[in-house]
Structure 1
Amino acid sequence: MTSAIINPTIQAAALAGLSNLLAQAIQAYRTDQPLSLDYRTLLQFVVFSLIATPPNVLWQEYLEENYPGDQIDEKGIKRLHKHNTAVKFVLDQTVGAIVNSLLFVVGIGALKGKDSSTIWDDCQRVGYPCCAHYDLKIVGP
């Protein structure tokens, strides 16, 4: 892996850990309970981030390669390519968001040890009824 993938992955894992710690602290504050860190949940979020970030970096690189955000005008000045930027935004906020949301539900579910039918139920519950049309078979013993 190149540093173009490694650096964002390390940063994303650190942010995932920090955000989970903050979420646990906020939950403890809201419920007026002492903070008792759930290290298992913290680790699940960090591991998921380590797994999910490299494909996301590659997705962003793909979008930039196919829809460059900058263009050089006739005077040699770099300017924002508005159409390509809009296309990237729409693709990322539709296709990218759907795929990432599903992968988050599936990935965290798998890291928590849920079985495939429970994970698909979770997908449907969070708004992906398309999952009901596929029978997920996990290959293994």
Structure 2
Amino acid sequence: MKLSPFASSCLLALLIDCCSNIIAQRLKAYKLDVPFVFDRVLFFQFLVMGAIGGPVNFHWQSWLERTFPGWKTVGRKREFTTLDTEEKGVSLAIQYEGSPGPGLHTYKEEVRVRNWWNIFCKWFTDCITMGALLNTTLFLVVMGVLKGKPWPQIGFDLRTEMWPIIWDSYKVWPVANFFSTTYCPVERRIVFLSCCGLLWNIYLSLVAARL
């Protein structure tokens, strides 16, 4: 059975997130010079976080693409002579509703080009402003709930942990987001970002372990 783009993207992103958590646990044991013991609770918490964050980010990326389409259609004029009619006669006849006369002519065609202003808006919204706030808030709230923290403590984590995490994210995501918003199809964007963010998810796993 073929999975939908939504399901396949979320499952692949979840798999990558789980791998990053296991790597983070091994790195932590190596750093502390202690035997590696698999933390099932932390893994389950990160699994739930990925299961929630994947769909949220898929719909977020879809909204960004609808709001700031990366492509636009523009009209472009081209010149041709009657010597070209053997090769272009069919399309030119459609343009002119009949065969063009002799000599130099122009015709208008519609082409798709990148909308660089929308790409910038999409990039800025995703990794510099709302996207960074959305994902960091979601991470801290979900992990806090899974760890059984009271809401005042979750609020304290948001005040103390959010901005350091966002600041660190600026070292990773601006470049990754530029390539994802410019060249990656929207239905595969969270998979691409999860691959780019393998090291970032290791960092988040280490943050989750200390919360």
User: AA paired with 1:111?
Assistant: L
How large is the Cα RMSD of the aligned pairs? 1.6
Q: What residue in structure 1 maps to residue 63 of structure 2? A: 62
- Deviation of 1:55 after TM superposition, in Å, equals 1.6
What runs of 5+ residues in structure 1 fail to find an aligned partner?
A: 129-141
Distance in structure 1 (CA, Å) of the matches to 2:143 and 2:42: 9
User: AA paired with 1:82?
Assistant: W
User: AA paired with 1:78?
Assistant: R
Q: Could you list the per-position Cα deviations for residues 68-95 of structure 1 after superposition, in whole angstroms to 9, with x for gaps in the alignment?
A: 1122343544322100000001111201
Q: What residue in structure 2 maps to residue 98 of structure 1? A: 133
Larger RCO: Structure 1 or Structure 2 (Cα < 8 Å, ≥ 6 residues apart)?
Answer: 2
Q: Could you list the per-position Cα deviations for residues 25-52 of structure 1 after superposition, in whole angstroms to 9, with x for gaps in the alignment?
A: 1111111111111011011111111012
- 8 Å CA contact 1:13–1:47 kept in 2: the answer is no
Q: What residue in structure 1 maps to residue 147 of structure 2? A: 112
- Deviation of 1:127 after TM superposition, in Å, equals 4.0
Q: What residue in structure 1 maps to residue 116 of structure 2? A: 82
SS in 1 for 2:14: helix
Q: What residue in structure 2 maps to residue 10 of structure 1? A: 11
Q: Runs of 4+ in structure 1 displaced over 2 angstroms?
A: 71-79
Choose between structure 1 and 2: higher strand proportion.
2
User: AA paired with 2:65?
Assistant: E
Aligned pair count reads 127
Distance in structure 1 (CA, Å) of the matches to 2:68 and 2:162: 30
Identity of aligned residues (%): 31
Q: Write the mapping of 1:23-38 to structure 2, written as runs, cut at 5 A.
A: 23-38=24-39
Distance in structure 2 (CA, Å) of the matches to 1:27 and 1:55: 29
- 8 Å CA contact 2:137–2:162 kept in 1: the answer is no
Higher alpha-carbon Rg: 2
User: AA paired with 2:10?
Assistant: T
Q: What residue in structure 1 maps to residue 100 of structure 2? A: none
Distance in structure 2 (CA, Å) of the matches to 1:22 and 1:77: 46
Distance in structure 2 (CA, Å) of the matches to 1:81 and 1:125: 38
Distance in structure 1 (CA, Å) of the matches to 2:113 and 2:30: 47
**Does 2-11 or 104-113 show the bigger shift?**
2-11
Distance in structure 1 (CA, Å) of the matches to 2:143 and 2:13: 16
User: AA paired with 1:79?
Assistant: V
Q: Could you list the per-position Cα deviations for residues 99-127 of structure 1 after superposition, in whole angstroms to 9, with x for gaps in the alignment?
A: 21011100011111111111111111114
